[in-house]
Amino acid sequence: MPPATPTPAEKTFSRILKLSGLNGWSAIIIAGLASILAFFMGDLVGLSVGVLIVVSGYMELHGRRLLKKKRDAWGMRWLVRAELLLLTVLAVYAVRGLVSFNADYLRDQAIPDARATLQPLLEVLGVSFDDLLKSFSLTEDNLIPLVRLVTIGLYGTVLLVAVLYQGGMALYYRRKTEGMIEFLYVKAAPQRWERPMPPPPPPSIYKLRPTKSPFNYDSAFSPQSIITKKRDGGALSREEIDSFAQGVCNGRFADYQATALLMAIYWRGLSSQETAWLTDAMMRSGEIMDLSFIRGAKVDKHSTGGVGDKVSLILAPLAATCGLKVPMMSGRGLGHTGGTLDKLEAIPGFRVMLSPPEIRFMLERIGCAMLGQTDKIVPADKKLYALRDVTGTVDCIPLICSSIMSKKLAEGIDALVLDVKFGRGAFMKSKAQAIELARAMVDIGKASGKSVRALITGMDQPLGRAAGHTTEVIEAIECLKGRGPADLMEVTYALTAHMLILGGVAKTESEARQKMNEAISSGLALARFRDMCAAQGGNPEVIDDYTRLPTARQIIEITAPANAVGFISEVDALKCGEAIMELGGGRTVVTDKVDFAVGLSNLVKIGEPVAPGTRLCTLHFNDEARGARAEAILRDAIKFSATAPTLEPLVQDLIQ
C-alpha cells in the first residue's frame, strides 16, 4: 500500500522536528564552546548556564530519536522537558542580568573588568582603553547609561525569545502529546505494528446514540401497568421495555418498582424477542464505543466465569498478535469466581480505567486493550445488577443475557466469542442450562447484526494449576512463554481460533492454530503482553522477575494423606474458590478489598496418579488461621479413587 500523502499539519510538524534537531545540535555545539571559554575565564555562572543548555540540547535529540522509534508519547515528553529546561535557564539568566547590571555594578566592576581584559589586546594595536573611549567621544561616566541600555536590550531580548519561542514550542509539543500514552518500560522486541496508521478518529471514540422514541413514555406507560402486564404473563412491547430501561436510569422507576418487575421477569420469563429488546434498551441507556475508524476486525471474548479462569490474560495479546483488534472490557471478581481486572491489577501500576484517546492508541498500536466498564457505559445494567444481587434474581437467563450482551455490544465490536461454563465452579451447574444460556446470547448477537459463537466448556475442576491473582498472572505469563498447562491452553486455543475465524484472519481452526503456535513460539505474543502491560502503566519487568508481583508471607505444600492411593478423582472447583475466599483472595461484596498475594499453585488434576505424600497443591497465605481453614477446605475438595476416573472433554459443544 503506498504511503498516505502528509497533511499540512503533518508537514508542519515534520519541519518543526527538523528544526528541533538543528536546535539540539546547535545548542550542544555553541553552548559547549561557551562553557569551555567560561571555564577558563573562571565564570561559574556562564559555565553553569552553558552546561544546562547542552543538557537541553541532548534532551531534544533524545526526544527525536524516540519519535523515530515510534515511541511517540515518550519522545514528545522529552521534547517538552527540553524546551521547559531551556526556557527556565534563559529566563533565570536574563532576569539575573537585568537585576545585577545596575550603575554601581557597571562603575565598580564591569567597566574595570572590561578595561583589564581589553587592555592587553589594545596595546598590541598601539592604543589604550581611554584612547578608544575618546575616539567615540565617550568617558566612563557617560559610558554607563549606554552600556545599561544595551544590557537591558540584550537581556530583554533573551527573556522575550525564551518566553515566546521556547514556551511556544513547549506548549506545541504538549498539545501533540495529548491522546498518547507512554511506553515506560518497553524493551527491544521483534518488529510489530507493520500496518499503516488509520485515519484520524472523531473527537471521541464514544458516541451517545439517541434513545428517543415516538412514544411519550411518561403518559403512555406507567411502571404499574408494565409490572402488572408481566406479572400476569403478558409479553412486553419494545416501547414498554425502553420505558423501563430509561426509567431505571432517570429515576422514574423507583427501586422497589424495578425490583417488582425483575421478580415478575424471573417467574414469567422473557421471550427471545423481549430479551433482544431489553438488551438493546440497556445498551442504549448510556454511551456506546464507536470503533469503526480503527482498521481491522474488532473481536472480543467473554466468559461466564469460573475458578482459575485466566484465559483473557493470554487470549488478548495472542489474538492481537495474530491480527485482530481486541477491546476487552472485563469485570471484577465476586464470590468464588475471579475477575480479570483484579488479576491485572496484581501487576504493580497496571491501570484498567482508560480514557477514550488511550483506548484508541492501544488498539491502533498494540492491538488490544484490557479495560473496566465506566459509569457511562450501560448505566441501566449497573443499577439492575445491584438490585438483582440483593433480591435473588441473578440466576435468570433472560436477565443474564441482557446484562452480558448489552455491555459487549456497547464496545462497538464486530464479533464475539462466548465461553459458557458449567459444572461445580460455574454459575450454570448443568450442561443443559449452559446451552440454553449460550443459545439465547448467540440469538441476541445475531439480532444485533453481530457474528457470535459460544463454546460450552466444563468447570468441575479449576482451569489450569493456579488460582488466585498473582499465581494466575504467573501461570498466564508461563502460557505465553510456551510452558502453560494443557487444559488451559486447550480452552485458550479453542476460543482464540473462533475469534480469528470470525475476524477473517483464518479460514479454518487448523490455520488458526498454526498462527497461534507461531505467535507463541516466536515470542511475539509475549512481547505484545509486555507492550500492553507497559502502555497501561504496569511494570513489565514482572514477566522476567515474578518476585516483583505481590508475594505471600507464607507458602506451604499440601500433601496427600497416608490413605491416598490410586488416582485423583475429584478437584471441586467451587470448594477451591471458597478456599481462596477464606484466604482473603475473593469478595463477598463489591467493596471488599482483595489480597493479590494469596492463592493456589501446582494444583493436581483429575486422573493424575496419587500416593501418600504426593503434593496436592501449594498454598500461598498471609494469615496462619486463614491458611489453616483454607487447607481444611482444600483437603475436602480433593478426592481419591482406586481406579482411574473417566475424563470428560473440556470443550463440549459449539453454538453458532
Contact 281, 244 (CB under 8 A): yes
Cβ atoms within 10 Å, residue 182: 18
Q: What is the Cα–Cα distance from 193 to 321, expressed in whole angstroms?
A: 9
Asked if 187 is an active-site residue, the reply is no
Nine cell digits for residue 167: 514556551
Give, for 158, the enclosing helix (H) or strand (E): helix 140-161
Nine cell digits for residue 409: 455490544
Mode of pairing for the β-strands spanning 638-641 and 566-571: antiparallel
Burial label, 251 (beta-carbon count in 10 A; 0-12, 13-18, 19+): exposed
Nearest to 457 by CA among 508, 419, 493: 419
- Euclidean distance between the first and the last CA atom of the chain, given in angstroms as a whole number: 35
Cβ atoms within 10 Å, residue 7: 10
Q: Which amino acid is at 286?
A: G
DSSP of 11-68: HHHHHHHHHHHHHHHHHHHHHHHHHHHHHHHT-HHHHHHHHHHHHHHHHHHHHHHHHH
Cα radius of gyration (the chain)? 34
Query: For the chain, percent helix, then strand, then coil, each to nearest 5?
Result: 55, 10, 35
Calculate the CA 82 to chain-centre distance. Answer: 28
185 backbone dihedrals φ, ψ, rounded to 5°: -120, 5
Any idea of the CA torsion for 169, 175, 180, 183, to the nearest 10 degrees? 30
For 418-545, where are the alpha helices, taking DSSP H only? Answer: 431-447, 470-480, 486-502, 509-521, 524-535
Asked if 388 is an active-site residue, the reply is yes
Contact 547, 215 (CB under 8 A): no
Q: What is the Cα–Cα distance from 529 to 73, expressed in whole angstroms?
A: 19
Give, for 397, the enclosing helix (H) or strand (E): helix 397-409
Asked if 310 is an active-site residue, the reply is no
Contact 422, 431 (CB under 8 A): yes
Nearest to 337 by CA among 635, 651, 578, 605: 578
Asked if 421 is an active-site residue, the reply is no
Task: Please tell me which residue in 381, 414, 443, 487 is annotated as part of the active site.
Answer: 381
Task: Please tell me which residue in 176, 302, 587, 620 is annotated as part of the active site.
Answer: 302
Contact 618, 606 (CB under 8 A): no
Calculate the CA 590 to chain-centre distance. Answer: 21
Asked if 469 is an active-site residue, the reply is no
Task: Please tell me which residue in 56, 285, 303, 403 is annotated as part of the active site.
Answer: 403
Residue 480, CB half-sphere, CA atoms under 13 Å: how many?
Answer: 27
Q: What is the DSSP letter of 163?
A: I
Q: What is the DSSP letter of 165?
A: I
Contact 340, 331 (CB under 8 A): yes
Task: Please tell me which residue in 77, 230, 332, 407 is annotated as part of the active site.
Answer: 407
Active-site residue list: 302, 381, 388, 403, 407
